[in-house]
Structure 1
């Protein structure tokens, strides 16, 4: 008669099996495969086309707008502000300027003056020399750490199209691609999703790297169709107009499945969605 495996032997076999499973899991974790996760294994949020949103960069977030997505200033809002929005069922995006120095931010003195270029048209702001990846990386890491530590779900990095402006530096499209990819990597390493802000010419190269798009005034300049690659990839396009009336851009926005609204340039609470 065949005897069963003794209890002690079964225990040893179970232990060996467990070790093997753990070893395989460790190897998988080191394989470099992108499973869409980061920051402790939490799945990154990928907003889908058509989500309604609020974009408020003027002061602390007003939670009264009943939409599922809020995009708010990362410095001016606290972890408690983010948590309050989360309790109301909202996803929260952290606005951070990555393309220009701002003299009013608490980390302004950390930026070497050699990185600062021409004024960009906004008070207290100057373009950054994005070719200097090694100098900018730790500065942006700390800003993205702030977004993560406050509990944000995503980052909206602003001014990622300096190569098309008079920055004071001879920036090229290749310089911008390298910088934008670094910015996306910094967000993903922290478990945050990241949006491509404007930079329409580089969408074909970057749509696979970024999780959604944020656009200003594509309707005014007849450029909204250029955002289609994000929609085709099932990624949201959060879009605002400042001057065009809703009747002029909302029909096309609905056809293209953009998340569109009219806002005032100061980006306060007021909004008129499509």
Structure 2
């Protein structure tokens, strides 16, 4: 993703000035099953899609962009990584070296975080405050399944559950919706804590059934597929869309870069 050139001192002053001291309670956005959506994390956001919600980057998106989307009747979900350190973020200096683990495979400028650390959790609460100050309707914290990989730390599944529930509770206390990202083995246990799920390639990896508890609870599953065959072969795309509709998922076929170079939706 693109680096954000934004001085840390200015970022902190901005945040302290605009974050309200009292948050809304129990009235956050709750998207419905089969909600329509657009997901773009790179490039100039294409605002022209007729969908219910947009999922865009928390740091790279301006207040003006968020307000324009909302003025056109869309809800806005703001993305940030909750399980990894990204060296280009304006608050990267807030992470302690001891809390930085191994480099993520395929992402040389990201490192796994020690999710049990109180310092890491404080950074995440400030990011949630930033989401409030920018007017986001909800958040998509990424990398919520790091217990399944070699992070350089020795935390386990229960530590991940505790961290994910911490994020959900903090988001809700601020009046923000929150989505569970790519944590299929814990989806059932966490479906009561989160308002929706976001999954990548659940059809490709045969993980879609893991999220059935969300649908049963009246909460949507937002899925994205990246296989090139779904782009090039209309019959293959129609096949995966047929499966998606049967499960009541909100499936998109997108470029892995999430840069809006193409988009196919399984919903109108």
TM-score normalised according to structure 2 size: 0.85
**C-alpha distance in 1, partners of 2:65/2:241?**
31
Structure 2 SS opposite 1:123: strand
Does 2:245 align with 1:254?
A: yes
**C-alpha distance in 2, partners of 1:175/1:209?**
15
Does 2:160 align with 1:176?
A: yes
Per the alignment, residue 9 of structure 2 pairs with none
Query: Unpaired runs of 5+ in structure 1?
Result: 1-37
Per the alignment, residue 125 of structure 1 pairs with 110
**C-alpha distance in 2, partners of 1:189/1:155?**
13
Deviations 1:83-108 (A, max 9, x none): 00001100000101000000010111
Per the alignment, residue 14 of structure 2 pairs with none
Of 39, 58, 63, which aligns to 2:47? 63
Does 2:264 align with 1:272?
A: yes
Larger radius of gyration: 1
Offset at residue 213 of structure 1 (A): 0.3
Deviations 1:232-255 (A, max 9, x none): 000011100000512341111000
**C-alpha distance in 2, partners of 1:171/1:145?**
26
Contact 2:188-2:211 within 8 A present in 1 as well: no
Offset at residue 42 of structure 1 (A): 6.6
Deviations 1:213-246 (A, max 9, x none): 0000000011111111100000011100000512
Contact 1:60-1:77 within 8 A present in 2 as well: no
**C-alpha distance in 2, partners of 1:67/1:271?**
13
**C-alpha distance in 2, partners of 1:119/1:173?**
20
Deviations 1:126-171 (A, max 9, x none): 0001121x11121001111111110000000000000001111112
Query: Unpaired runs of 5+ in structure 2?
Result: 1-21, 231-236
Per the alignment, residue 86 of structure 1 pairs with 70
**C-alpha distance in 2, partners of 1:144/1:202?**
22
Structure 1 SS opposite 2:77: strand
Offset at residue 39 of structure 1 (A): 2.4
Aligned-residue Cα RMSD (Å) equals 1.3
Offset at residue 60 of structure 1 (A): 4.0
**C-alpha distance in 2, partners of 1:102/1:84?**
28
Contact 2:83-2:113 within 8 A present in 1 as well: yes
Distance 1:56 1:162, change over 3 A: same
What count of residue pairs does the alignment treat as equivalent?
236
Structure 2 SS opposite 1:65: coil
Structure 1 SS opposite 2:55: strand
**C-alpha distance in 1, partners of 2:208/2:25?**
35
Contact 1:261-1:273 within 8 A present in 2 as well: yes
Does 2:32 align with 1:48?
A: yes
Contact 2:79-2:142 within 8 A present in 1 as well: yes
**C-alpha distance in 1, partners of 2:173/2:254?**
32
Contact 2:25-2:174 within 8 A present in 1 as well: no
